[in-house]
Amino acid sequence: MIEQNLCLLLVVIPLIAAPVTAMLPAGRSPWLFTLVITWLCFALSIWQLTIVLDGSTISYELGGWAPPWGIEYHIDALNAFVALIVSGIAAITLPYALRTVEKEIQLQETSLFYALFLLCLVGLLGIAQTGDVFNLFVFLEISSLSSYVLIAMGKQRRALTAAYQYLIMGSIGATFLLIGIGLIYAETGTLNMQDLHQRLQPILDHRTVHTGFVFMVVGIALKLALFPLHLWLPNAYKYSPSAISVFLSATATKVAVYIMLRMVFTVFSTSFLKITHTEFIFLILGAFGVIVASMAAIVQHDLKRILAYSSIAQISYMVLGMGFASTLGITATVVHVFNHALMKGALFMAAGAIVYRVGSSRFENIYGIGRQMPWTFAAIFVSGLSLIGIPGTAGFISKWYFMLAALEQQAWLIAFVILLGSLLSVVYMWKIFEALFFHRLACTAPPVTEAPLSMMLPMWTLVLANIYFGINTELTVGVAETAVRLLGVTAYHE
């Protein structure tokens, strides 16, 4: 009974829980309730992944309407993997959120805060689960609208302008996606992804299809903060409440990467990508994104802003992987989606712990703080190494696959960019290490103590996961390879 409705339950449970949370009395009860729900979702998504891990698919007809007329949830390894990342990060963020939310959010707003968190989770999980492009748009807007509000709940007034800017850019992106979907629908008369793929193949040279494709790609690129459409991201991550920067940085843009994969490879096809030369655009924008965003990270004077710019650079890596349009390239992208969620989750948690104790993430306020918060600093250090791609960490695995994909196609310039991006990340991570550990204390700063245990445990869980998945790649690479096979991407041939 549960197993048959598994993929729907994953969306419906948080959806029903959200209004319930909003009605709970302010305080710790909404937090506890949300915790239970997210852990339940996490368990269900693990279950779902074990079902599809062997390469099989689940097809769920909503309301008993057979596809392509009804909405279908079509789950393969990639869907289940993304759902696992989203619910896993949500489950690990929640214990961390308790203390930061008590400090950053007014007491009477806590129920609403957790309700919105659940709504955002619904949207992201829904995107991962659905097999219908219009349904996907609706879930995208559910997650976006709730994340605008969550960002605006930040303490400083600039959180409001950051949320406003994100709202404008995000809505333009979503509307572009909507135009694209409309044009594709006008050509094919269907919204089901599998059905769209079938019907699009004979008419891939129609101009309407091309126009629709362009609108879709640009719209999704806005949501995934692809260079040069990334302007909303740094402020949104910097000024949002700590728990939200952790959750959004680890999931929101990754889900957008998933949408791009799904649209480009499942709805259209690899051959369409090559006919339209979109892979060159991906390669060029990805390469520029890696370099420009890493350079921008180097000149920042704020811990959270460095991490935000670094996120843009890492997303550009994922776009590079898509640009290779080969088995290895997409495998690298999917693996990096997972690994980047681990490292950025850990880094933003550590940054949030420092903000919790000091009240700021600007360098002049946190000089030398690493000596007073050694465990937090150690977490930044290890996940920083993972971000750079030191062997033995998760980051190394994804960088390794990116290099393999580049070398396979003898794309020397791109291989150089990948290495250069790693070198630049050494520079900006070193800047953080230097400021936090080696710099002398700001003389006016009162001494601080280590972050509370409830924040330390989730942070270190993610840090240890960084090391574990750097050594045992069975889950990440295994799932990625199955997923890529089902996407219909073929190995690169000369």
Partner 1 sequence: MIDIIIGHYNYWIVILLMMAGFYTVINRGNLIKKIAGLNIFQTSVFLLYISIGYVNEGTTPIIAEGFTRYANPLPHVLILTAIVVGVSTTALGLALVVRIKRAYGTIEEDEIHDKDMSL
> Which residues contact partner 1 (rule: CB under 8 A)?
134, 137-138, 141, 145, 148-149, 152, 157-158, 160-161, 163-164, 167-168, 171-172, 174-175, 178-179, 182, 185-186
Instruction: Measure Cα distances from 64 to 60, 61, 74, 134, 348 in Å.
Output: 9, 5, 14, 18, 43
The least distance separating partner 1 from the CB of residue 360, rounded to whole angstroms, comes to: 13
CA angle 290, 294, 299 (to 5 degrees): 155
Residue 6 near residue 48, CB atoms below 8 Å: yes
DSSP 24: S
| Closest approach of partner 1 to the CB of residue 72, in Å | 15
Which pair of tokens denotes residue 111? 């129920």
Decide whether 29 or 171 has the Cβ nearer to partner 1: 171
- Of 49 and 174, nearer to partner 1 (C-beta) is 174
Nearer to partner 1, 57 or 175 (CB): 175
CB of 164 to partner 1, least distance (A): 5
How many residues are listed for the chain in this entry? 494
Closest approach of partner 1 to the CB of residue 292, in Å = 21
**d(Cα 137, Cα 312) in Å, to the nearest integer?**
23
Distances (CA, A) of 189 to 198, 202, 206, 361: 12, 14, 15, 51
Nearer to partner 1, 217 or 388 (CB): 217
Asked if 117 and 143 touch (Cβ cutoff 8 Å), the reply is: no
Q: How far is the CB of 134 from partner 1 (least distance, A)?
A: 6
Q: At its nearest, how many Å lie between partner 1 and the CB of residue 138?
A: 6
| DSSP summary character for residue 438 | I
Do you find a cis peptide bond into 68, omega within 30 degrees of 0?
yes
Give the pair of three-digit tokens for residue 406: 């580049």
Three-class secondary structure of residue 60 per DSSP: strand
Please name the amino acid found at residue 169. Answer: M
How many Å apart are CA 180 and CA 210, to the nearest integer? 9
Residue given tokens 């936090």 in the structure block: 436
Could you tell me the smallest distance in angstroms from the CB atom of residue 268 to partner 1?
20
CA distance 114 to 389: 34
CB-wise, 8 or 172, nearer to partner 1? 172
Helix (H) or strand (E) holding 73: strand 72-75
Residue number, 29 or 175, with CB nearest to partner 1? 175
Using an 8 Å Cβ cutoff, are 203 and 242 in contact?
Answer: no
Smallest gap from Cβ 149 to partner 1, in A, equals 7
Instruction: For residue 450, give the DSSP letter.
Output: P
- Toward partner 1, which CB reaches closer, 71 or 255? 71
Q: Three-class SS string for 226-294?
A: CCCCCCCHHHHHHHCCHHHHHHHHHHHHHHHHHHHHHHHHHHCCHHHHHHCCHHHHHHHHHHHHHHHHH
Identify each DSSP E strand in 358-463 by its residue range.
none
Return the number of the residue (92 or 174) whose C-beta is nearest partner 1.
Answer: 174
Least distance to partner 1 from the beta carbon of 145, Å? 6
- Taking the complex as a whole, the smallest distance from the CB of residue 47 to partner 1 amounts, in Å, to 30
Q: Coil, helix or strand for 75?
A: strand
> Cβ 155 to partner 1, closest distance in Å?
11
Judged by beta carbon, residue 219 or residue 345, the one nearer partner 1 is 219
161 or 490: CB nearest partner 1:
161
In the complex with partner 1, the residue whose CB is nearer, 163 or 244, is 163
The upper half-sphere exposure of residue 422, i.e. CA atoms within 13 Å in the direction of its Cβ, equals 18
Rank residues 158 and 301 by Cβ distance to partner 1 and give the closer one.
Answer: 158
Q: Which residue's entry shows tokens 């696992």?
A: 84
DSSP state of 436: I
Phi and psi dihedrals of 74, rounded to 5?
-115, 110
CB 177, min distance to partner 1, A: 10
